[in-house]
Every structure is written in C-alpha cells, then in structure tokens.
Amino acid sequence: MKLKKQVTVCGAAIFCVAVFSLYLMLDRVQHDPARHQSGGNFPRSQISVLQNRIEQLEQLLEENHEIISHIKDSVLELTAHAEGQPTLPRHPPNSSWSLPPESRPSFLSVSPQDCQFALGGKGQNPDLQMLAVYSLLPFDNQDGGVWKQGFDITYEPNEWDAEPLQVFVVPHSHNDPGWIKTFDKYYYDQTQHILNSMVLKMQDDPRRRFIWSEISFFSKWWDNISAQKRAAVRRLVGNGQLEMVTGGWVMPDEANSHYFAMIDQLIEGHQWLEKNIGVTPRSGWAVDPFGYSSTMPYLLKRSNLTGMLIQRVHYAIKKHFAATQNLEFMWRQTWDPDSSTDIFCHMMPFYSYDVPHTCGPDPKICCQFDFKRLPGGRINCPWKVPPRAITEANVAERAQLLLDQYRKKSKLYRSKVLLVPLGDDFRYDKPQEWDAQFLNYQRIFDFLNSQPHLHVQAQFGTLSDYFDALYKKMGIVPGMKPPGFPVLSGDFFSYADREDHYWTGYFTSRPFYKSLDRVLEAHLRGAEILYSLALAHARRAGADSRYPLSDYALLSNARRNLGLFQHHDAITGTAKEAVVVDYGVRLLHSLSSLKRVIINAAHYLVLGDKDAYRYDPAAPFLSTDDTRLNQDSLPERTVIKLDALPRFLVVFNPLEQERLSVVPVLVDSPHVRVLSEEGQPLPAQLTALWGSATNMVPDVYQVSVLARLPALGLRVLQLQKSFDGQAMLKSSVRLYLHGRDLPVRKQEAVPVHVFPTTPDDFCLETQHLRACFSGHSGLLQSLRRAGEEREQRVSSEFLVYGTRTSKDKSGAYLFLPDGEAKPYTPKEPPVVRVTEGPFFSEVASYYQHVQTVVRLYNVPGVEGLSLDVSCLVDIRDHVNKELALRFSTDIESDDTFFTDLNGFQIQPRRYQQKLPLQANFYPMPAMAYIQDVQSRLTLHTAQALGVSSLGSGQLEVILDRRLMQDDNRGLGQGLKDNKRTCNRFRLLLERRATANKVQDGRPVSFPSLLSHITSMHLNAEALVLPVAQEKPAPPALRSFAPLAATVPCDFHILNLRTLQAEQDDSLPSAEAALILHRKGFDCSLEARNLGFNCTTSHGKLALGSLFQGLELGSLQPTSLTLMYPLGTASNSTTIRLDPMEIATFRVRLG
C-alpha cells in the first residue's frame, strides 16, 4: 500500500511539473527579450516571424520531451517492484471479461524531431523512380527482330575513332548450392572439378581471369585441398586473376529472404574470406535471383562494396532502359535524404546470363562463340549454326562478326567500356572447356588488339576490372557517381522473362519451408544473443572453463545452414523434391542444435549460485518447448507432468523490449496453479487442447499465464498441482456443428456447450477490440477499436485460383491463373468453435482444407491491439489449385497498396490494370498494408508469401499452391510435395490522425512504431523451457534481466554475434559483433492507449551502460560485415544512428 501511495504522489508530481514547465515555456516565448531582438535591425515579414515562433516551439517541445523521458524512467523504477499481489480478472454476467487496471503506467514518449524523418521532403528526387517507370511503360511486348524483346541496334563504324572500345570478357560459372541436385551432389559431381581445374588453368596464362561468388561451395572445397593449392589460390586472388564477387555464403533470393538472414549469410561469407584468403569483396554479382530488392544494394553499400550487377529484370524494363541508356545507374534508397546509400549498378540487357545472350543482341551469333558447344560436344546451338574453332585462316572473319555484336551491345550503355560475361550454370567443369574457351578467345583478342583501325582493346577481366576501367574513363574513384549517369530508386519486382510469364508463384511455393526458415532464424538470433551474454558473464565470473564453448560450433553450423537456405532455389521453393528434403533435414538439425545452445545459456544465466553450474551434455538442465519428429512435421508442444513439488519454467523473451505476454503451457492436469519466482500466485486461463474440430486431447490442458518478461531476458515461473485453483480462470466453449452429426469428445474440467445448428452472426470483445464473425462461415466480418463508434468492415474469405488449360501452366516459379479466383466451396459446412476467456477469446473454423483461428488477446499492450490469425492449410488432394485468403474492407485504398522488402523497408505498389492479374502479386516477407486518409489495415506475417490488392479495400495472400506440372524453367517437376502448413498472421487496424493525399503519393512509406513492435512479437515468440529434473528440487533459480536501461523503441538489436577465435574457428573469441537497426516509423498513426512503454531518443543509445553487470571493454564501429573499421575506436560509448540505418560494432563484453 505504501508503494501505491508513493506512485500516486509521484504521478501527481509529474503532472504538476509538466503543467508548470509548459507554463514556463509559454512565458519564455512571450517574454524572452533575446528572442525578440534577434534580427531586429531589419523589417521581417509575417512569415519569418511565424517560422521563428514554430522553431522556438519545436525546441521547447524537444526540451519538454527530454524532461518527460527522465521523469518516465524514475516512475518506472519506482513501479518496477510494485507488481505485488495480482488482482484477478472479473466476468460480470452478460458482458465480456474485464481485467484489473494495469499496475504500471505506460508511456509513449516520441520526440517531435524523430517524427520528421517519415515526413521526408529533403534531398533531390531520383531520375528514375520505378513506380513511375511502371506507370509509363506500355508493356506491349513488340517483336524486336533478332533481339526479340528489344529493337534493332545500329552504329556508325567511326564512332570509336576518338575513344576506342574497351571490352572485358568475364569468365564465370554459376553454381547453385542445391537445385536439381543437392549441395553435396553438385559439389562432388561438378563444383570441385571446376575449382580444381581453375587453379591449374589460370596458372597457364597470367592474362586469364575468373570470378566466383558462392562461398558455401568454395569453403567446402578449401577444406579438401592441400596447403600448396591454397597458396596458389591466394596468389591468383592477389594478382587479380581470380575475384571473389559479393562474397556471401550464397547468392540469396531477394523476394522471400528476411534481412537478418541476408546480412548473416553475407557476414558468414565475408568473415570466411577474410580469415582464409585475406580478401574483401568489392563488387556484387547477382545473375540469377528472380527479381531484385532495393535492400540488397543498401547491404552491399554498407559492406563497402562499390559496384554491383543484376540480370533477371522484367524484359520491358530492360528494353526501356536500353533505349534510354539507363542500364547503368546509381541505385539509391527511397528514404535516403542525401546520397549516402548510392551504389553503382550495372543491369545486363538481354534475356539470360548464358553465352548466347551476353555478347550482343543476336543469340544466333553469340552462340557461335560459346566454344563448349563446338561440334562433337554434348550441347549444341539451338539456332543451328555451330561454333567454329578459331584458326589463322578464319580469325579475321570471326573476330569481325563478334566485334559487331560487341559494338551493338556497347550502344546500349553510356561509356566506351563494355562488360561481356562468359559462362553459364556449372560451366568450366572439364579441362577441355577451359582450353576451348580461353585459347579461342585469346586468339580473337590478339587479332582485334593488333588491328589499330578497329579501335578496340579486348581482354579477359574480372567484374572489378570492368568497374575500375569504367571509373577511370569517367575520371572518378570507385563509389562516386559517374557524371551524367542517372540515379534510380525503387525495386525490380515482379519479374517476367517472356510474354505474360510472371515469376510470382515462388513468392508462396512450399510455404512449409518458408515458415521453418523463419522459425530457425528466430532461434538463431535468440541463441546468438543468449550465448554471447552467458559467455560474457561466465568469463567475468572466471567460469568459462566450465561453460560449453563447444556450443560455438553448433552456432556456426546453424548460421551456415540458414545461410544456405537463403539461396535462390531454396527458400524460393524451386528445387527438386529430394533437394527440398535435404534442405529440410539441415534446417531441422540446426533448429535442434540451437535449442541446445539456448538451453545451456539459459541454464547458466538463471542459476542463483553460478558456482553450482555443471554442464552435462547427457542430461540437459532444461527441456525444449517443442519437438519435431521429421523435417516436414509440424511441432508438437511439450506437455509438463505436474506433481506436488513445483515444476519450474524458464521463459525466454528474445525481444529487446520488455513484453507483457500470454505464455501458453501444456500440462497433464486441470488442477494447477502458476506462481511467480517468489511464490506469488499468477492469474492464468485454463483451456482444452483440441486434436480436431470436436475432440479434446485427453489429459492435456493449456494453461495461459499473463507474464511480464524482461527484455532479452529469462523469467522463472513455477507450476504446482493444486486443487485450490482460485487463480485458475476457466474459459467457456461453444461448439456449432452446422447440422452435421459429429461425436464430441469432452473433458469435464472444460465446459463445452454443443449447438447442432448454425448460429447467428456474433461478436467477441476485449478492452481494445470488438471483432464480429459470420455465424455461417465462422470467418471475420468486421472490427472496431475501443472508444470508436464506427465499425470497420474487414471480411475474410477463402478463394481458389486454377491454372490455364493452354500449354503454359503454373509451376514452382510461374503463376499463370485461369482468370480471377473463385470462392472456396468445401463439401461440408465448417464446424465453428468459440472460446471465451479472461486473457484470450478465439473463433476456430474447421474446413476440409483449412482450419483458421482468429484470436483476440484481452491484455494491455501490443498483444491486445491486433488480431492473431492462423491458418492450418492442407491441400494435398487438390489438383492445379492455389488457396488464397482475402480481406475486403471499405478502406478507400484505390489502386495503391504497400508491401515490405525483406522485413527491412516498405515499398508502395500500384495495381496495374494494363498488366495481367499475376503481374500484380508481390513478395510479402513481413507485412503488407492498405490505407486511406482515415485508416490503415496491416497484415503482418510470420512467413514469406505472395500478396496483392486486386481491388480497392482488398488485401489477399496466397497460402499454398499444388501444381501438377513443370513450368519450363529447368526444374522438371511440379509442386506435389505439399505439407500440412501453419501460416501465422497479425491483423492490425490503425487510425490515421494526420494523413494527407500529397504525403501518401510519395514513393516511400513507413509502419508505425506499434506496427513494428507487433511484427517483432509475431516473429520472435517467447520460448517456454521447463526445468527437466523433477526430483530432487532444482537449485535456486533467479530471473535474468540483461539490460540495465530501456532500449529506445525505434532501435532493434538485430544480433549480438560472437566472433570466431583466430586459431580455431569452432571456438569463440572474446569479441562479438553488435548489429543495431534504427527503424523508420510514421507518427501519423494514432498512438492513444497503447499500453506499453515506448521512448525514442533522437537515435542515441548509451551502449556503455546498457548491459547489466557487464562492462563494455571496447567499441569499434565497422562496416556491416566487419571487414573495415570505421573511424577510430572512441572512448565514448554513446552511439548515434540515423533512421533506417543498420550499423555494426565490434565489441568486447566482460
């Protein structure tokens, strides 16, 4: 009670201080003579007086914001220990459950200055804005002659007299880490032979060049070669003959990959290169991803690369850019106020990266210069004119023919430097091919270079040789903008390679694995952070000799398996079935390993007496929260057996913000009570576990406890068997059978009312939301936020797309629907189950191919402000069908919608009437939204799927696709290995307070802070780890809160990644990479009654005092992948980040 009084007094004091400070502020504005005199010597217009007043007010608001922030921290400290006895929720008759008022105040303290970023307005507009380009182009696919998707190219023979053409032919071999064969099979059959021959053949002639990009393959080969061969490789890299391009673990897909994993695979590759070869990549090479995200140029730029190349771009855009000489540009982020994110990008102009489509516009001619296709070989030229070996007799004629192609290609670019890739998938795997290509081309080069009247200089080159020559010609240093080149912003989705063949199917293909990818990612991030913290604490206590350092090898392996899965034939769902299984086995193996790493770290961190810590690999201290039987099984949650002795749980919150969450636990008895670590009873909701629509699983119950979890911390809870279940609140269940004669298996502890008929429409209400549902379908119909009059229509329905009857049908890559979607019509009406309880209520609808659950959380804060939606999909009996979920609203979104790129940024989209339906689908790795001036509806997702808005007020997502045939892109299979897949979403409705049409028309948009945090909650679930031993009672456990201060809520700790030891890469060093991201957010969405604490800080974060009980030994800002130090390591430990920026720091904690 005493504490409550203190809090009340303190609250009143704050109010007084705030009012008094505002009074003083107004007083200062009116009576500050200094302010009146500034510039008093000349007459000022009314506008500048007003401007000055506004600036004064802004400054005062900033000062006030800082005062409030300090007061807020004091109040939180005072109330942190005021939780005391929980009061229980009440359930008045004929009304919904009401929770007791929250014992801790919540703040939303966002500085006005931090709201400026989303308003933008600074900086020049780019020359090429991709949204505008799309609106401009006719997409008429006219026949262009020999360059079918382009146009005839002409030139004057004397164009190069003053400045000769400089040609760089770049030999490359595109190695997919899994596609038709598994990673290992490709390695043994082809990749090792390519690399072995490379070492031999490159040494034959110092003029030869080669580029390599996939470090996953390169590192495997490196582990299998002699010291002598390694030395030869280092020499080839050192003298510029061999270039490592991009240097990532793989060449990642850019549609479905999440930015955590994109960065992680880049770090993994770069760290490997630095440690083993001592090289840092300078140029990016991405010839095969199916469309390009603007996140990638940002990551490459922040990793200190200066140039990049892309290839698979819509043929109509290629043609337009070729016609306007815009195939090379500075790629800038849409949100960049200056040019700090600019990176030079080269777009290849033709259909493919193979030899027939890289020397010039005529594939019939270019194919004659692919000397692997010489007569007598295994492959030939489809254009029926074979290559001829180059001899003295024919060199003049052959060289002239090739030069004509080079000159025509060069006319599409602004400089007199030309890039000509020479390679294809898994090329150069036999010594004969090395000889055929390198000897014949060298003869051509020697001839061309010996003829001054041709004005050409041709040679082998690496990618960076080309970029360097271009920069030199332009008189600039790498990284600068070449004069006269355009600036572009936007992305390159969605991709079509010919006709109306849009590669939008792979945004959803094999959603089971797209989901597993994100589960593994969340576990990897959690394991990295917890391992780094446990190791630092163990070292500080001198206990690191007893800590399982060997867990580092498990982390390292998981990084590599997650990295491998970012490959553009893995997460995309476009590999052969056996290869998919291989990826799945790797992902599951790493998931199990990471659970072990988390358990070992949590064990050490929650022990009251660290000296009692003993690591026993045979008997882990904690059990896992769930298990998966096979790589394609859904997880089965662990059931805790109760006893008279308390069972302890450790709950891990992987977020850098404290969260108030409903933590679900399965137990074997309804007679249970939940206690805090100190033994205080905690309120919890008891529900049944349903095995099917009408069957409760016998002897298993779900206990959902409302728990406050420390940021990045571990909370200890106890479960006890108890027949005095005073704090256990039961939920009520209504089951609607729609006239179907189904037996219902019940348990007496959970009351169920069975209704054989169809109900009327009904609503569920919490303190934040009211959601109404159709009685017939059980699906959502409308949504209303607390305190608002207006009901927002948000009706959901399932739809089915078929595929075409003509020759081209949908497959793993392509989406070729047979027209608009038709309503999903199941054989039987659904069974609808309505559960109501104090902490959550839900509606479950069971259809033949999909079970959907819409849940409302009745808790303060983030969880309660959005709807939790999950769909368990099983379409294994469908033939050539795709299942979609569509939300229809009365939001006047017109033709505009917004999708995220890699969970990193938002890209506005426009529904293009002139394009076919399938062209209007885009990747949705994390969220999509529609809006008008009043409302924004965001669909958050826990797995990447394809999304669109095909009509005003609509948002639809493709849940799964089952296709019986190949779509002729090389895979040779349909998609028939569907699994039971659980897709998870959050649906967030927000009011827009200060929206305007001009603002909404800009090519940039940001989520609100609430939206960002909702996405994090969905993607980083709390992990519930039961203490394994039941008897004797475990040693004293203490909750662990690693952070000494609150992290500003626009900051995200992307990773805290322990770096490998110098000598042994399976062991940790004393250093870690701390990767921070400051999110860009939109303040125009109403932020009343959010019920969680959130403060921003102008991008400042005091790292020195962030970690409780640990000192920051050193802090060195570096490039994104740690290859370059940025500035000197300073004594100041307070860092500052601009909005949207990601920054890496090399830190030493201990």
- Catalytic residue numbers read 288
- Longest Cα–Cα distance of the chain, Å, equals 103
> Which tokens go with 1085?
């969405």
Q: Which DSSP string do the residues of 666-703 spell out, in sequence order?
A: EES-S-EEEEETTS-EE-EEEEEEESSSSBEEEEEEEE
Count Cβ atoms within 10 A of the Cβ of residue 255 and give its class: 0-12 exposed, 13-18 middle, 19 or more buried.
buried
CA distance 80 to 954: 43
H or E element that contains 740: none
Answer yes or no: are the C-beta atoms of 1121 and 267 closer than 8 Å.
yes
CA distance 704 to 720: 14
Dihedral angle over CA of 255, 257, 262, 265, nearest 10: -120
- Count other Cβ atoms within 10 Å, centred on residue 999: 17
Say which amino acid occupies 466.
Answer: Y
The sheet with strand 1023-1026 has its strands ordered as 681-682, 672-676, 714-721, 647-652, 1023-1026
Phi-psi sector, 587: left (phi>0), alpha (psi -120 to 50), beta: alpha
Answer yes or no: are the C-beta atoms of 1068 and 552 closer than 8 Å.
yes
CA distance 478 to 493: 28
Residues with Cβ within 8 Å of residue 988, at least 6 apart in sequence: 865, 866, 867, 937, 938, 940, 1010, 1011, 1014
**How many angstroms from the chain centroid is the CA of residue 258?**
2
Residues with Cβ within 8 Å of residue 204, at least 6 apart in sequence: none
> Which tokens go with 1002?
């800009």
- Count other Cβ atoms within 10 Å, centred on residue 616: 9
CA distance 772 to 790: 13
Alpha helices by DSSP H, 423-462: 431-449
Picking from 989, 1016, 996, the residue whose alpha carbon sits closest to that of residue 1079 is: 1016
Specify the pairing of strand 769-773 against strand 850-857: unpaired
CA distance 847 to 828: 8
**How many angstroms from the chain centroid is the CA of residue 33?**
53
Residues with Cβ within 8 Å of residue 455, at least 6 apart in sequence: 160, 161, 164, 165
CA distance 972 to 473: 45
CA distance 269 to 672: 50
> Which tokens go with 159?
């164009």
Q: Which residues of 819-829 are buried (b: 16+ CB within 10 A; e: fewer)?
A: eebeebeeeeb
Q: Any idea which residue has 């659970």 for tokens?
A: 595
CA distance 849 to 827: 10
CA distance 794 to 777: 14
3-state secondary structure of 882: strand
CA distance 497 to 215: 28
CA distance 1090 to 1079: 19
Answer yes or no: are the C-beta atoms of 811 and 963 closer than 8 Å.
yes
Picking from 434, 447, 488, the residue whose alpha carbon sits closest to that of residue 324 is: 488
Answer yes or no: are the C-beta atoms of 929 and 938 closer than 8 Å.
yes
